[in-house]
Amino acid sequence: MKSATEVFRPLQADDPVEAGGYRLAARLGAGGMGRVYLSHTRGGRPVAIKVVRPELADDPDFRRRFRREMEAARRVRGAYTAELIDGDADGTPPWLATLYVPGPSLSEAVARRGPLPVPAVLWLMAGVAEALQAIHGVGVVHRDLKPGNVLLAADGPRVIDFGISLASGVSSHTATGAAVGTPSFMAPEQASAGEVTPATDIFALGQTAAFAALGRPLYGDGPGVSVLYRIVHSDPDLSLLPEQLRPLIARCLAAEPAERVTAKEVVEWCRRHLGGDLDAGVGPAVWREVKGPDPEIPPPVPEPTPVAPVAMPTPVLTPGAMPASPGVPAPVLPSAPAPLPPSAPWPRPHAPSGRADEPAEERRARRRRTALVATGAVAAAALLLTGVTLLVGDALDRLADRGAKGPSSASSHPTGATGSTASPGPTASTASQGSTGTEGTAGGTGVPAAPSAGPSASPRPVGYPGRFLDEKNSLGIRKPVDRKDRSGDLRLECDRTGCELKSDSSSVILMYGEPGTGLDECRLMATASKSHSLPLAAVSAGSEICVRHPSGDIALLVVQVKATAMPGRLPAFMTVDLTVWPNATERGATAGR
């Protein structure tokens, strides 16, 4: 079992602090479509928030698919599914929220403790089959059922991730014609891009159960295209499975979809063979042993406390408070009037002539109006005096700065030449700090220069999801991206020893470590790389490749499908999600200006 620090990783600088009003508490993971975070509902219930990559969100086709898949997932309700409770396909970026399941995935549990005992496998199959009944009951096919998408909760398994689930009536092809799913757990019809039905998920259930019982994929490891070839053209070897499980798993893995067992029949078969264990309540004990203890979930992130604005005192400048610059005489400002002695009465405004018999009430009202007018005039005069003081002080500071620079100031050398004979002093070095002559000014005139759009400005990423690359076409980093010839920046080239991703001018590098590479990492590694080719033997689905174009563009390729293991015998191809940051390096930013 992973520790709490491994499951709940702290938010990084490039992570959002909220999504759709949900305050994010920790990062749970990342993948090709986006990142997953821990959050909580208003009532404190933990939820998993999936936030889509911004570059994918910019693609209208992706948003339409995401909206359709989210609407289909909303209809799924079941005891063994992680329900979709919220989401926004039109958000910036799009996001969705599902109930958080506190427990390891089946793949993590097997990696930690090895193959599961037969009763645990039967409980697993019954729970997943019941989840498939709920999913298929609303016309949805999961299409990517695998050990990583089955979580082991305290009361049974939970099926998650409907990110690529589609309504049954929708074509199983992607925009590029490539099959969708994980190669080791695909059905034959799915591997060959055929019709996908609920029976496709039953085949994946048989493979998932075999993985739980054996501790490894039933069709073996290796390149995805080799595994798919074995799935399509060979029968599985069930001899290593426990004898009690072979009949049921064999019916799940029938080559013909019509011959496979149904989800309802799987539930009934498992309940029948659990027998007395079912009535004795063995299930909870089995799961406690398999899943291990749950890590402590971080508490909800408190809402930010509104901070009341603090009233700042208005500065009052007096003649003695202005600092004097060396060599420049202090300005002579008008002195403030001396205060009246305490015994002197406040001077009364001169009252205009009036009738001698004017009532006392009218005289008092007229005096109040006159006093208000006088007070306003005094305030306006004070504001005017303050503004004049600031302008005079600013002008004197500039004069002092120019006087301290001497003959090598910016006015004498507007190009900022370093060969000038500047007199020593704290400001002398500023004459050689830029092409404008005075640091932070334009042409040494004292006018602040506009900030330049240098490499520190973050360029806007552009996403191109689902790009197809084979030995006949190519991809361009600059538009057009899809090339039907070999003139693009990136090509797939294969021989008998393997395949490479090659470029004539762009540097290419494979990223290692956790997924979710951003611009800064890509720019650093791709700029340091001098290689124009990348062998694809170590590349698999989910791998991330960074590219630096001579123009200064930085690109990230996230591999979705790679079929390059048998060049010459089977067509080699890749599908990738491409993200491009235009003019993302210093050279590119300069060229862009």
Catalytic residues: 144
- Tokens linked to 532: 């124009």
CA dihedral for 536, 539, 541, 544, sign (positive or negative): negative
CA distances from 291 to 55, 146, 446, 489 (A): 36, 17, 69, 48
CB atoms within 10 A of CB 366: 15
The DSSP code sequence of 376-401 is HHHHHHHHHHHHHHHHHHHHHHHHHH
- Residue 207's H or E segment, with its range, is helix 198-214
Cα separation of 203 and 201, whole Å? Answer: 5
- Tokens linked to 484: 């039907």
- Tokens linked to 443: 């042409």
Cα separation of 110 and 1, whole Å? Answer: 10
The DSSP code sequence of 296-315 is PPPPPPPPPPPPPPPPPPPP
Cα separation of 307 and 18, whole Å? Answer: 19
Task: Establish how many alpha carbons lie within 13 A of residue 91's alpha carbon, considering only the half-sphere containing its beta carbon.
Answer: 19
Angle of CA points 198, 199, 201, to nearest 5° = 70
The DSSP code sequence of 214-280 is HSS-TT--S-HHHHHHHHHHS----TTS-TTTHHHHHHHT-SSGGGSPPHHHHHHHHHHHHTHHHHT
Cα separation of 404 and 22, whole Å? Answer: 56
**Is 323 exposed, middle or buried (CB count within 10 Å of its CB: 0-12, 13-18, 19+)?**
exposed
Contact yes or no for 508/475 (Cβ under 8 A): no
Cα separation of 93 and 460, whole Å? Answer: 14
Identify the DSSP state of 429: G
- Tokens linked to 126: 């019954």
Cα separation of 413 and 395, whole Å? Answer: 21
Beta strands in 122-224 (DSSP E): 140-141, 150-153, 156-159, 166-167
Angle of the 118-137 helix axis to the 263-274 helix axis, nearest 10: 150
- Alpha helices, H only, 409-448: none
Contact yes or no for 272/141 (Cβ under 8 A): no
